[in-house]
Amino acid sequence: MNPVRKAVFPVAGLGTRFLPATKAMPKEMLPVVDRPLIQHVVDEARQAGIEHFIFVTGRNKGVIEDHFDRQFELEMTLLERQKHKILEYLNQDLPVPGSTSFTRQQEPLGLGHAVWCARELLGREPFALLLPDVLVQHQRGCLAQMIDAARDLPANANIVAVEEVPHERVDQYGVVGIGERRGKMFSITNMVEKPTKERAPSNLILTGRYILQPDLLEILGRQERGTGGEIQLTDAMIQLARTQPFYGFQFDGRSFDCGSKIGFLAANVSYALARSDIAPEFRAEIKKILGEVDD
């Protein structure tokens, strides 16, 4: 497969499930421990070797752009106060100049439409798509695992990360039907967006990490509205799968659906417990809250 250099991050969503927290702040800036959701996902893309980060934003999302820029006043203050460690930490996160692009989805017409809005920036090469609602916790990030696994696949292959969920929850996701399996990778025979339990081809869902060929963008350009009146990415992928190979990849690690309150809160607990600087104290606090130890 050809190298994957560019990644798209759709960040135009309204975040209604987190109101009032998201009234004036983008949901992608909600912190999981001390890093915004979007920073965790950009970290994952960086680890996978992505060089160009394309954000599809919307109105009221300006602070995402600011987050990936320098903050001179803050830097000067930290310097004056001799806070060198935190300054170094901030600088590590700073993208290489010119490696970020921001474009806007003017109307909320769905995920497929958001990806299509990035078409001029993507050009004619395979690209990664990462949905910031989903965090995958693992030492080797989900996208890096996918790129590792894609090495031996044909140049025109498309790969989607998948995972099992209980059958009762398939109606919240894109669901795939599977064919021949080779280790963690298998060919995809079918995809359906948010099917009923009865119509779902399996209980393997699309997790929100994709490696896609640029031909998808042309399909998206003529795609009609599907489920929920939105231009669905899954519908365009189904069309592309008629002419190009599609693979599902079962990644290592635990995923958190941070688009839901429970998933977001669970991610915070899990990421905090994985941090050696705060885990011991935090664990004790949780035990206290759960009434497992006395004050």
- Residue (of 189, 171, 170) closest to 179 by Cα position: 189
Interface with ligand G1P (CB under 6 A), residue from 28, 44, 163, 193: 193
Choosing from 36, 141, 248, 259, the residue that interacts with ligand G1P (CB under 6 A) is 259
Residue 17 CB, shortest distance to ligand G1P, in Å, is 10
Q: 59-88: which residues touch ligand G1P (CB under 6 A)?
A: none
Residue from 132, 174, 226, 248 in contact with ligand G1P (CB under 6 A): 174
Q: For ligand G1P, what does the binding mask look like between residues 197 and 236, x meaning CB under 6 A?
A: --------xx-x------------------------xx--
CA distance 257 to 134: 5
Cβ-based nearer residue to ligand G1P, 205 or 216? 205
Find all residues with CB under 8 Å of 107, minimum gap 6, and list them: 113
Through-space distance between the first and last CA atoms of the chain, rounded to whole angstroms: 57
Residue 235 CB coordination number (10 Å): 22
CB of 82 to ligand G1P, least distance (A): 43
Q: How far is the CB of 80 from ligand G1P (least distance, A)?
A: 43
Indicate the residue whose CB is closest to ligand G1P: 174
**Closest approach of ligand G1P to the CB of residue 93, in Å:** 24
Q: How far is the CB of 131 from ligand G1P (least distance, A)?
A: 5
Task: Point out which residues bind ligand G1P (CB under 6 A).
Answer: 111, 131, 133-134, 173-174, 193, 205-206, 208, 233-234, 257, 259
